[in-house]
Amino acid sequence: MAVQFRDYYEVLGVPRGATEDEIRKSFRKLARQYHPDVAKDKKVAEEKFKEINEAYEVLSDPEKRKKYDQLGANWKQGAEFRPPPGWQNMRGEPFNGRAGSDFETHFGGTGFSDFFEALFGGAGRRGGFTGFTEDEQFAGRGRDVEGDIMVTLEEALRGSVRQINVQRAVPCEQCGGSGSRSQHVCNVCGGAGRVNRADTYQVRIPPGVIESQRLRIAGRGEAGVGGGTAGDLFLRVRLAKHPDFAIEEHNLVHEVEVAPWEAVLGAQVRVPTLDGAVNIKVPPGTQNGQRLRVRGRGLPQRGGTRGDLLVGVRVEVPKTVSDKERELWEQLARESRFNPRS
């Protein structure tokens, strides 16, 4: 079977004569840098993280490293590789003579390349950090995929159907996931056995979603390895900016401008809500910046209730006045006992 050669020393950035300690240090540094949960570019990090793990799996194990070194130093990363005669016999050999040991760490969903499997069989799952055991059903499980989904406030309230594109690794259809076709490296997946595919789905957004809530779509994450189940797709709700409302937790905030006499005398003003405009009463003596509460017209909350609409009142002053208006303001100034600085 032809597969792509992997230069594990190059992947870990260590010389061929590196000590175990140097290899472990380099692995730990790179693993922290490229872990998909903390890296900036998750997609790139994920592929890199898998390569790093595979390289460490081989180079940290003296037996496997020895076998790997026997291939010689002339191979280039990515070159088409055929195991030399006799190598096939080594497949399926138990590792370290302690198959199924409790001390083995399992990299859930960290797929090993076909190059690895051609050399060492498919059973390698030793991993870099020992002393950690997990549920057997999770070994080989595909990684979860996460993404954000922008939801308008109206959609959050009423629910909707949205189209999404999801990029994820799936088994290569051209080679059936084996990485090779008629003795050559599969030209579709380049020998990886998996390809990144963009799927378009219609996803149902249930009514009442809140900011940062994650919607889980079971089985739409990355394909599993070795018969493992697929991961899940997690979509994190991000509420889109609305022209009329700002968001404060479960409340919506809308700002309304009123004339000075409306603030003093009180008025009815029309304000928008997500359920259509309503008239609200601005009580006499309302101050600039005061907030009026319209109960139950905010965003949905857990448990089916809704937050409030807070209407912020901004008193606007006319920039120009007519002669008649000036007269009236002057009269008011003379007669009013109001002094805001007293």
Partner 1 sequence: MDRAQMAVIRLRMISPSNQSPYTLDELARLGGVSPALVQRYLEEGLLAPVAGNARTSWFFDDNALFELRRIQRLRRELGVNIAGVAVIHELLQQIDDLKAELAELRQSVSGHLNE
Interacting residue ranges for partner 1, rule: CB under 8 A: 28, 31-32, 35, 37-38, 49, 53, 105-108, 110, 127-129, 132, 134-135, 137-138, 141, 144, 146, 161, 163, 200-204, 206, 212-218, 220, 234-235, 241, 302
Residue with smaller CB distance to partner 1, 53 or 273? 53
Q: Least CB distance from residue 211 to partner 1, whole Å?
A: 10
Residue with smaller CB distance to partner 1, 138 or 329? 138
Q: Least CB distance from residue 41 to partner 1, whole Å?
A: 14
Are the beta carbons of 122 and 112 closer than 8 angstroms?
yes
Residue with smaller CB distance to partner 1, 297 or 306? 306
Decide the pairing of beta strands 251-258 and 309-315: parallel
120: Cβ–Cβ under 8 A, 6 or more apart, which residues?
Answer: 58, 64, 67, 90, 91, 93, 95
Are the beta carbons of 215 and 205 closer than 8 angstroms?
yes
Q: Least CB distance from residue 251 to partner 1, whole Å?
A: 18
Residue with smaller CB distance to partner 1, 100 or 340? 100
User: Where is 185: in which H helix or E strand?
Assistant: strand 184-185
Q: Least CB distance from residue 231 to partner 1, whole Å?
A: 9
Q: Least CB distance from residue 36 to partner 1, whole Å?
A: 8
Q: Exposed, middle or buried, 202 (CB in 10 Å: 0-12/13-18/19+)?
A: exposed
Are the beta carbons of 159 and 206 closer than 8 angstroms?
yes
> What span, in angstroms and rounded, lies between the C-alpha atoms of 340 and 342?
6
Q: Least CB distance from residue 186 to partner 1, whole Å?
A: 26
Residue with smaller CB distance to partner 1, 36 or 179? 36
> What span, in angstroms and rounded, lies between the C-alpha atoms of 219 and 111?
17
Sign of CA dihedral 71, 72, 73, 76: negative
Phi, psi of 117 (to 5 degrees): -70, -30
- CA 310, chain centre distance (Å): 32
Residue with smaller CB distance to partner 1, 38 or 332? 38
